[in-house]
Chain A
């Protein structure tokens, strides 16, 4: 019988700010050359740079680089199996990691795990292969840029997973000057994953920018402020789940543009897609854009699910091409323009849409009639303050009232439930409602129960009391887009741009 102790022996090669970790089972021969250098798994070290080596029981996660920030310094650990493929530089808490072009499918994807806190640090990575960046409890402010002004800059044109590690809160703040495109910038396509929280401040340009497509699944992303857009990307934007809260932006809340000169025309399964399209299938999006549009697609806009609340100075939700809403809950208020604005056709086929447009000539729901496009309304529940675009094709009956009370709770009773909604402080004159059953409307109700959605702007299955009935008239497409009074019965326009 042979008995022996088992442990995960690891050879740690320490340089100034980097520890290279080699699993004993994998390292093989570590060669010494002429008394001046040693080579481990193809990585050459000058012995003068090696501060020490230790054997520990710490386990090594292959293909992983971890960066632990600690105020004015950062320590990097590199798994031995990928050590020869990365070049690490550390200056204070400013970390640069360059992947060599030799990284290939045999090595696989490298993961960069970032944690800790620094009031003057950054993470810069460049490479040309798929990578994963994990935010694992990271608070990073780039006060005095060394590699870029971004807090996190990933100059990698491939797919980059950004895992916001579940249970962690992470905050990124970029420098107030520099040439960075965003506080969190990724040259390639970004896929946000896991259920942690990521807060981002964009002090110079956008808060988050992807050079290519950007998708969000599960993560809780909060743009606290941005000089430019909250989220900016190319190719396409896809929100599947999680939450995205954008506030205090200088430009659009979310903007997606075509990356190339023109759309590739490919949209099936998003393979090869470069359309500028925005897709929202789930999750919660909240946008406050006090100077520009809330959500802007340079291609098409497709909403099939989720909960979307947008308040914007300009159009709340805008698309350069067709806009299609098939599901979800949507609140879209453009305080000085349209609620929903499609420069192509606009289709509402389902979901619950509460759109608010400014006074005429703006409307709540606008399609590009100037270019012979139309608003096609075939299904769903609609509340539109400010009216609909003239010439709309309304397959589902709509009803309206020419005046409404500001800052007032209304109850729209349908066959199966009552939906309560709160009116804004100002908007266009005509209030249009529609659902699959003929609605009855009351003004000035008190809401005492129900399911709150859209940040409290709507209650589903609402319990209401009081109020006075509102007389509704059939609404025709010819009524749309016409100027009219009303909309401000409660008093003058409030101060500020809202």
Chain B
């Protein structure tokens, strides 16, 4: 019981006293643009925005999207989308998993195997394709 209380306290302290930690432990992989016609949600990977005359031109890993400026109302980050990325299927290479202490938790044949084997928590997954941090809830 003591251990649980301590962990909760530590988490609250970290979030409330460090903007860096707060930014890191929140995930906002989507940016939603709201226009008069409706909302469009895009992944933020490699996302850049240019003002081009009457339009806002948004480029991300998926392509180019154009919004008429006068029709734009707002944009906001979000943590979910109708097109959630399937992390399990993206990497088929050997994957090493580390906990937040930097300790090697295990080595798996691919990311899907790693994710299926992990318990709830935050981990760093390292493979040839790159390194990502994931939360398993």
Are the C-beta atoms of B133 and A7 separated by less than 8 Å?
yes
A59-B31 in contact (CB<8A): no
Q: By the criterion CB–CB under 8 Å, are B44 and A30 in contact?
A: no
Q: Are A27 and B77 in contact (CB under 8 A)?
A: yes
Residues of B within 8 A of A (CB): 19-20, 22-29, 31, 44, 47-51, 54, 56, 68-77, 79, 84-85, 87-88, 115, 122, 132-137
Are A8 and B134 in contact, CB atoms less than 8 angstroms apart? no
Q: In the complex, which residues 286-335 of chain A have their Cβ closer than 8 Å to any Cβ of chain B?
A: none
Q: In this complex, which of A2, A10, A25, A26 has the most chain B Cβ atoms within 10 angstroms of its Cβ?
A: A25
Which residues of chain A have a CB within 8 Å of any CB of chain B?
A: 1-11, 23-32, 34-36, 47-48, 50, 52-55, 59-63, 81
Taking A2-B136, A4-B84, A54-B48 as known contacts, 11 extra A-B pairs with beta carbons closer than 8 A to each other, sorted by chain A number, are: A3-B115, A6-B24, A6-B122, A6-B134, A9-B77, A23-B22, A24-B77, A30-B75, A31-B73, A32-B74, A35-B69
Chain A's nearest CB lies how many Å from the CB of B16?
Answer: 12
Judge whether B72 and A35 touch: CB under 8 Å: yes
> Hey, which chain B residues are within 8 Å of A48, CB to CB?
51
Most chain B beta-carbon contacts within 10 A, residue among A7, A11, A29, A63: A7
Report the minimum CB–CB distance from B18 to chain A (whole Å).
9
* The one of A4, A11, A34 that contacts B70, using a Cβ cutoff of 8 Å: A34
In angstroms, Cα B132 to Cα A471, docked, is 81
The reply to whether B23 and A4 contact each other, CB–CB distance below 8 Å, is: no
- A120–B112 Cα distance when bound, in Å, is 56
Residue of B nearest to A79 (CB): B19
Q: Which 8 A-B pairs have the closest CB atoms?
A: A35-B69, A24-B28, A62-B19, A35-B70, A24-B77, A25-B26, A53-B49, A32-B72
Known contacts A5-B29, A6-B133; is-contact A25 B22 (Cβ 8 Å)? yes
A60 in contact with B23 (CB, 8 Å) = yes
Contact of A3 among B28, B74, B87 (CB under 8 A): B87
CA distance A426 to B3 in the complex (A): 73
| Contact assessment for A9 and B73 in the assembled complex, using a CB-CB cutoff below 8 Å | no
CA–CA, A333 and B66, complex, Å? 76
* Residue contact A28 to B70, C-beta cutoff 8 Å: no
